[in-house]
C-alpha cells in the first residue's frame, strides 16, 4: 500500500488538492483549495497539518492564488503576492517550515524581473521544488533514523508525523515505513494526542492502512508503558528546532522526554532541515501557539467538560536539548552538543 498524498496539484493545476484531515478516520474527503482565505482556514483548523505539510501547502497554495493574478502589471502582482504571503504566514506561529517555505517562495519571485506571467511561473516551479524536496528529505530522514532503531523495534510516538504531515513518507514515521517495507518486524505504540487526537485519528489510520502493527494508548498511559520496559525508544517529530537543539513539538512531547529520561529510554526527534531555525538561539524564544479552549472542553460537538470550565490549551511544548538522545535530519544523526550551522535551511 502506497502512503497517502496529503497535498497535491489538482488535475487542472489551478488548485491544491488536500486530504481534509478533520474528517479522518471516519471519512476520506479531498478538497480543492485556491484562495488565500481557504488556505488560511485549512491551516488554522488543521485540515492540513504537520509542520512540513503546511509549508508545502502554503507554497503550492500561494502559487495557485498568484496564477489568478498573472495578467496584472508586475508591481500590482508583487503587492498581491506580499499581502497573500503575509496572511498565510500568520495562520499558525510555531512550525518553522511555514515561514521557511514562504520566504523561499518570495525569494524566488523577487529574483525574477519581467512580467507577472513569468513571476507566476517561477512561483509554481519553486512550490513544486519545495514539494519534491520535502518528499526526498522524508526518505533520507527514514534512512538515517533506521540506523538508530534496533531490530524488532518497539517504538512509542506522539501526534502524526507520517505521510499526512509531509509531502513524503513522514519524519518520525519514515523509518517505520522503510523497516516495514524491508520485511523487518516492528511495533508502534501510538499516543492518542489530546485534544485533537492526531495520534489515534491519523497515525493509527495511516499505519493501519500500511499494515504496520500498532497499539493505541491515552497520553497519560505513556509513563507506565515506559516503566514496563516494552518500549525500545521514543521517536517524535518537530515543529521548530532552535540552534541549541531545543525542540518545539506537539504538546505532551516534553512530558514523554522527562519520562523517557527517568526510565532510561532513548528519545529521538526526526525532522527535515527546513524545521531548523538557526536564528532562534534556544527554545524559550520559540512562539508557542495557544489554541481555543473549546478544543479541550468538547470534541466534534460532544462536550467533555462543563462549558464554562477554564482550559489551558497550548498546541506545542518545548523539550530541552538535554533530554534528547539524538536529532535525525535528512543530513545526519546529530548528537549533542548540537551544531546545525551547516544544516539549517
In the complex with ligand MRU, which residue's Cβ is closer, 78 or 239?
Answer: 239
Judged by CB under 6 A, the residue of 81, 137, 148, 165 near ligand MRU is 165
Near ligand MRU by CB under 6 A, which window of 43-51, 119-127, 293-301, 304-312?
A: 43-51
In the region spanning residues 192 to 221, those forming contacts with ligand MRU, defined by CB under 6 A, are 198
Instruction: List Cβ neighbours of 86 (8 Å cut-off, separation of 6 or more).
Output: none
Task: Give yes or no for residue 319 binding ligand MRU (CB under 6 A).
Answer: no
**Phi and psi at residue 196, to the nearest 5°:** -105, 0
Q: DSSP assignment, residue 59?
A: H
DSSP 156: E
Ramachandran angles phi, psi of 250, nearest 5°: -45, 140
**Looking at 52, 142, 199, 245, which residue binds ligand MRU (CB under 6 A)?**
52
Longest Cα–Cα distance of the chain, Å, equals 66
Instruction: Choose, by CB under 6 A, the member of 7, 38, 49, 324 that binds ligand MRU.
Output: 49
Q: What is the C-alpha to C-alpha distance for residues 189 and 114, in angstroms, rounded to an integer?
A: 53
Check the CA dihedral 326-240-281-262 and report its sign. negative
250 contacts ligand MRU (rule: CB under 6 A) = yes
Looking at beta carbons only, is 67 or 171 nearer to ligand MRU? 171
Could you tell me where the beta strands, DSSP code E, fall in 96-196?
A: 153-157, 186-191
165 or 179: whose CB is closer to ligand MRU? 165
- Identity of the residue, 97 or 325, whose beta carbon is nearer to ligand MRU in the bound complex: 97
* Active site residue ranges: 239
CA 310 to CA 263: how far, in whole Å? 33
In the list 116, 315, 324, 345, the residue contacting ligand MRU (rule: CB under 6 A) is 315
Interacting residues with ligand MRU (CB under 6 A) = 46, 49-52, 159, 161, 165-166, 170-171, 198, 237-239, 249-250, 315
Amino acid at each position: 500500500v502506497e502512503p497517502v498524498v496529503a497535498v497535491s496539484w489538482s488535475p487542472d493545476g489551478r488548485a491544491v488538492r488536500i486530504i481534509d484531515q478533520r474528517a479522518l478516520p471516519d471519512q476520506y474527503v479531498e478538497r480543492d483549495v485556491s484562495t488565500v482565505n481557504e488556505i488560511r482556514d485549512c491551516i488554522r483548523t488543521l485540515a492540513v497539518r504537520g509542520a512540513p505539510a503546511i509549508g508545502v501547502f502554503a507554497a503550492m497554495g500561494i502559487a495557485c492564488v498568484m496564477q489568478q493574478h498573472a495578467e496584472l502589471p508586475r508591481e500590482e502582482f508583487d503587492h498581491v503576492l506580499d499581502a497573500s504571503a503575509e496572511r498565510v504566514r500568520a495562520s499558525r506561529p510555531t512550525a518553522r517550515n511555514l515561514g521557511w517555505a514562504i520566504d523561499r517562495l518570495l525569494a524566488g519571485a523577487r529574483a525574477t524581473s519581467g512580467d507577472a506571467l513569468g513571476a507566476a511561473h517561477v512561483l509554481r516551479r519553486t512550490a513544486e521544488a519545495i514539494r519534491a524536496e520535502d518528499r526526498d528529505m522524508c526518505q533520507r530522514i527514514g534512512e538515517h533514523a533506521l540506523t538508530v532503531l534496533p531490530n524488532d523495534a518497539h517504538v512509542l510516538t506522539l501526534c502524526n508525523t507520517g505521510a499526512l504531515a509531509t509531502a513524503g513518507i513522514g519524519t518520525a514515521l519514515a523509518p517505520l515505513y522503510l523497516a516495514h517495507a524491508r520485511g523487518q518486524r516492528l511495533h508502534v505504540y501510538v499516543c492518542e494526542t489530546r485534544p485533537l487526537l492526531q495520534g489515534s485519528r491519523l497515525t493509527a489510520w495511516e499505519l493501519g492502512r500500511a499494515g504496520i502493527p500498532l497499539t493505541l494508548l491515552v497520553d497519560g498511559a505513556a509513563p507506565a508503558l515506559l516503566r514496563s520496559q516494552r518500549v525500545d525508544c521514543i521517536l517524535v517529530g518537530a515543529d521548530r528546532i532552535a540552534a541549541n537543539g531545543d525542540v518545539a513539538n506537539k504538546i505532551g512531547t516534553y512530558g514523554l522526554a522527562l519520562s523517557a529520561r527517568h526510565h532510561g529510554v532513548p528519545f529521538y526527534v526526526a525532522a527535515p532541515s527546513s524545521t531548523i531555525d538557526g536564528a532562534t538561539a534556544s527554545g524559550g524564544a520559540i512562539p508557542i501557539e495557544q489554541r481555543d479552549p473549546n478544543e479541550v472542553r468538547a470534541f466534534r460537538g460532544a462536550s467533555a467538560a462543563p462549558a464554562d470550565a477554564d482550559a489551558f490549551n497550548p498546541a506545542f511544548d518545548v523539550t530541552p536539548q538535554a533530554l534528547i538522545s539524538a536529532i535525525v535530519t535528512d543530513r545526519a544523526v546529530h548528537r549533542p552538543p548540537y551544531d546545525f550551522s551547516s544544516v539549517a535551511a
